[in-house]
């Protein structure tokens, strides 16, 4: 198994990183949390033009994928910069619509649904959100999505959004949904939803690793400059050791995420994405806690940009399944339970 990105994949990630560094993302996040979507939607279109969503959509529908390694690369950068919006949900919805719209029968009630929405996803013209209860009970950003879906067992329905719930991360706006019109039903729906769930888990794990890495970077920078007792606080063992522990956790999670991407299309994909999500959730959450400790009270303030990532790491910790859910899934896969 090969974990090293090739030159084209590295260039893809570096290009996204530069693009997002110039995009003043913290301001976009604060706008998104306040319900002002204009800048976030403009960034969505820019990222789509760079290929972020095309790599989730099959070539037959106007995309370039599905390319899990490229998706992981892109979501790592989305996580590093704290980009708001239902990116993971849109990627999962692309998998769901693709699997149900292949014309093999027992699929979509309206076969034109996939034909209409998949190219729009690839081109950045459509935001899609979905709920896959019980693991994904809410449809994030349903108020701004062009299509909201709900899968319950063997039925996929249009989702009718309710009132937004308060979230740990104000920029991750959670909407409960009720069932609307049936769009597809039958055994293939449950199978397609399982594949969509695994892809959502994978990109969420990549997002978490990116978020954790950025939190570690800003914490190290702060520890080098913040002085106490005449010395940078990073010289104290109590600070160094916490930062080193955060690095070890993230370095442990990163190859699990890339390994899961390489397992796409194999029977091990579900097990591997769960191992990756459990490790990435714990590593990013630990990095967030250490970032708070290193920064002290400033880390809590809304005006300080790292606070946006700290809240994002906590919210994504349990999004797309909690670490205990995914550890149980790995155990079941290993023991045949």
Residue 216 clears pLDDT 80, i.e. is over it:
yes
Band of residue 4 on the pLDDT scale cut at 50, 70, 90: confident
Band of residue 115 on the pLDDT scale cut at 50, 70, 90: confident
Q: What is the pTM of this model?
A: 0.95
Q: How far is CA 51 from CA 9, 123, 304, 334, in A?
A: 12, 8, 30, 36
> Which tens digit of pLDDT belongs to each residue from 313-328?
999 999 999 999 999 9
Residue 105 clears pLDDT 60, i.e. is over it:
no
Q: How far is CA 319 from CA 34, 89, 104, 197, 287, in A?
A: 21, 11, 32, 11, 17
Q: Mean of the pLDDT values across residues 216-243?
A: 93
Say what the pLDDT of residue 56 is. Answer: 96
Stretch (H or E) spanning 160: strand 155-161
Residue 249 clears pLDDT 60, i.e. is over it:
yes
Burial class (CB in 10 A: 0-12, 13-18, 19+), 205: buried
Least confident of 88-102, 103-117, 124-138, 179-193: 103-117
**Rounded distance between C-alpha atoms, residue 205 and residue 92, angstroms:** 13
> Which tens digit of pLDDT belongs to each residue from 14-45?
999 999 999 999 999 999 999 999 999 999 99
Least confident of 78-87, 228-237, 286-295, 315-324: 228-237
3-state helix, strand, coil in the chain (%, to 5): 60, 10, 25
Q: Mean of the pLDDT values across residues 300-307?
A: 90
Say what the pLDDT of residue 1 is. Answer: 55
Say what the pLDDT of residue 2 is. Answer: 58
Average model confidence (pLDDT) across the chain: 94
C-alpha gyration radius of the chain: 20
Q: Are 203 and 91 in contact (CB under 8 A)?
A: yes
High-pLDDT (> 90) share of the chain, % = 85
* Residue carrying the six token digits 């959004």: 161
* Residue carrying the six token digits 């998104």: 32
**Rounded distance between C-alpha atoms, residue 131 and residue 320, angstroms:** 10
> Which tens digit of pLDDT belongs to each residue from 250-296?
999 999 999 999 999 999 999 999 999 999 999 999 999 999 999 98
Say what the pLDDT of residue 299 is. Answer: 82
Q: Are 276 and 321 in contact (CB under 8 A)?
A: no
Q: Are 115 and 57 in contact (CB under 8 A)?
A: no
Band of residue 108 on the pLDDT scale cut at 50, 70, 90: low
User: Both ends of the chain: CA-CA distance in Å?
Assistant: 27
Q: Which residues, including other chains, have CB under 8 Å from residue 14's CB and lie 6 or more apart?
A: none
Say what the pLDDT of residue 107 is. Answer: 62
């Amino acid at each position: 198994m090969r974990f090293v990105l090739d030159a084209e994949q590295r260039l893809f990630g570096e290009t996204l990183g530069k693009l997002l560094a110039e995009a003043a993302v913290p301001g976009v996040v604060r706008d998104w949390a306040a319900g002002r979507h204009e800048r976030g939607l403009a960034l969505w279109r820019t990222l789509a033009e760079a290929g972020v969503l095309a790599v989730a959509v099959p070539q037959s529908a106007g995309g370039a994928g599905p390319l899990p390694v490229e998706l992981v690369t892109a979501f790592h950068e989305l996580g590093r910069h704290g980009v708001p919006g239902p990116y993971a949900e849109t990627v999962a919805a692309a998998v769901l619509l693709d699997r149900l719209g292949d014309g093999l029968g027992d699929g979509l009630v309206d076969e034109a649904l996939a034909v209409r929405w998949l190219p729009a996803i690839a081109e950045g013209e459509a935001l899609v959100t979905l709920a896959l209860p019980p693991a994904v009970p809410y449809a994030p950003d349903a108020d701004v999505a062009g299509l909201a879906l709900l899968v319950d067992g063997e039925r996929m329905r249009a989702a009718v959004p309710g009132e937004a719930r308060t979230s740990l991360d104000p920029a991750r706006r959670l909407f409960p949904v009720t069932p609307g019109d049936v769009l597809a039903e039958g055994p293939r729906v449950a199978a397609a939803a399982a594949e969509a769930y695994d892809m959502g888990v994978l990109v969420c794990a990549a997002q978490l690793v990116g978020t954790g890495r950025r939190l570690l970077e800003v914490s190290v920078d702060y520890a080098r400059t913040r002085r106490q007792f005449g010395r940078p606080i990073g010289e104290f063992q109590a600070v160094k050791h916490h930062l080193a522990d955060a690095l070890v956790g993230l370095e442990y999670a990163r190859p699990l995420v890339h390994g899961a991407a390489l397992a796409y299309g194999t029977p091990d994909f579900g097990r591997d994405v769960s191992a990756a999500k459990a490790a990435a959730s714990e590593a990013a959450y630990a990095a967030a806690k250490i970032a708070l400790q290193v920064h002290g009270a400033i880390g809590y303030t809304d005006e300080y940009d790292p606070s946006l990532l700290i809240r994002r790491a906590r919210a994504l910790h349990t999004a797309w399944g909690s670490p205990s859910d995914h550890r149980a899934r790995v155990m079941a896969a290993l023991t045949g339970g």
